[in-house]
């Protein structure tokens, strides 16, 4: 592919290296503010493009090689489209990991996994844990489980905040780096938060997970409580939250079994009382 005449930026996003071709200068600026530039001698994992098209009601497209996995979106959604596109690249190609739709947080070298469907409050809770209680964000969108060891590998990227959670998290004192809100996306209003790093950790090191917690935001709940569930119940829920369990087949079954049998498993209906959440989740890593 010869595209030397086009502007591009290369950067490391979590565990993966991207080269982004784009003529949208604002997008390049945002990427440069959020992600670390890549040394020239590093290998690029994914070469992608986010480009504008048409002048009337301008749109942007995401492209990986010759594939356009998404319909064009309004031009102001360029950054969310890039984030969703990068997620797509990883979930569609990185089958050396069992990939679970989940946030992953670490404290004291112990990891908890928070799988959650949209609206479960997973990202808001993750942001609160990182900004207010000293947890490290290993990932917001996907738990990368090594299929050999069952360890979870970090791939930290910004937390995707949606709708009401943007205002909630913006009020946290340490929420310094949040991208401007983008309205009317397929997920509502979205913004991305760069979580602080409380201690340096190697993204090449895998961590043992000690707990799997399925949060559900339940505003009417009168008390926040972790409800233990069986390993089998959690296993089946994790399959539902996995991007590639059915692709990995036997390997996925073995990897998930290794992970699941080493963890405690809980559902966590909560009303958004963060101080109670901190107390409960810190108990899991003692």
Partner 1 sequence: MSTLTTIDGELLIFNSQLNKTSLISAELNEVLNNLQEASEELDTETFNLAISELTKQGLVISTT
**Residue numbers of the site for partner 1 (CB under 8 A)?**
230-233, 235-236, 239-240, 246, 249-250, 253-254, 257, 260-261
Kindly tell me the number of DSSP H helices and DSSP E strands found in the chain. Answer: 8, 17
Quote the CA–CA distance of 160 and 66 in Å, as a whole number. 27
Nearer to partner 1, 199 or 246 (CB): 246
Query: Smallest distance, Å, CB 246 to partner 1?
Result: 6
Nearer to partner 1, 203 or 284 (CB): 284
Q: At what angle do helices 78-93 and 25-34 cross, to 10 degrees?
A: 60
Nearer to partner 1, 119 or 232 (CB): 232
Nearer to partner 1, 180 or 257 (CB): 257
Query: Smallest distance, Å, CB 256 to partner 1?
Result: 9
Query: Smallest distance, Å, CB 101 to partner 1?
Result: 15
The tokens describing 191, both together, are 């913004």
Query: Smallest distance, Å, CB 261 to partner 1?
Result: 6
Nearer to partner 1, 54 or 246 (CB): 246
Query: Smallest distance, Å, CB 262 to partner 1?
Result: 9
β-pair type (46-53, 16-21): parallel
Quote the CA–CA distance of 173 and 143 in Å, as a whole number. 27
CB atoms within 10 A of CB 203: 15
Whether residue 145 contacts residue 151, with contact meaning beta carbons closer than 8 Å, is answered with: yes
Q: Euclidean distance between the first and final Cα of the chain, in Å?
A: 52
């Amino acid at each position: 592919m010869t595209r030397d005449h086009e502007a591009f930026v290369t950067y490391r996003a979590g565990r993966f290296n991207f080269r982004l071709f784009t003529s949208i200068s604002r997008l390049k600026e945002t990427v440069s503010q959020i992600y670390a530039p890549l040394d020239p001698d590093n290998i690029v994992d994914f070469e992608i493009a986010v480009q504008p098209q048409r002048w009337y009601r301008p749109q942007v497209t995401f492209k990986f090689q010759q594939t356009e996995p998404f319909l064009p979106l309004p031009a102001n959604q360029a950054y969310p489209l890039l984030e969703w596109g990068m997620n797509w690249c990883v979930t569609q190609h990185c089958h050396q990991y069992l990939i679970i739709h989940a946030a992953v947080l670490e404290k004291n070298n112990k990891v908890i996994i928070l799988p959650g469907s949209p609206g479960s409050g997973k990202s808001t809770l993750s942001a609160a844990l990182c900004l207010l209680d000293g947890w490290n964000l290993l990932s917001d969108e996907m738990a990368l489980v090594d299929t050999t060891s069952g360890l979870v590998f970090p791939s930290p990227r910004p937390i995707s905040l949606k709708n009401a959670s943007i205002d909630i998290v913006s009020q946290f004192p340490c929420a310094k780096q949040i991208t401007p809100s983008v309205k009317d996306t397929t997920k509502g209003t979205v913004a991305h938060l760069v979580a602080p790093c409380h201690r340096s950790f190697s993204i090449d090191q895998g961590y043992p997970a000690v707990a799997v917690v399925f949060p559900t935001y339940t505003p009417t709940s009168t008390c926040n409580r972790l409800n233990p569930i069986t390993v089998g119940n959690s296993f089946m829920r994790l399959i539902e939250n996995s991007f590639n369990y059915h692709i990995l087949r036997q390997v996925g079954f073995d990897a998930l079994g290794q992970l699941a049998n080493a963890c405690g498993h809980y559902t966590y209906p909560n009303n958004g009382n963060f101080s109670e959440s901190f107390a409960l989740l810190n108990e899991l890593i003692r």
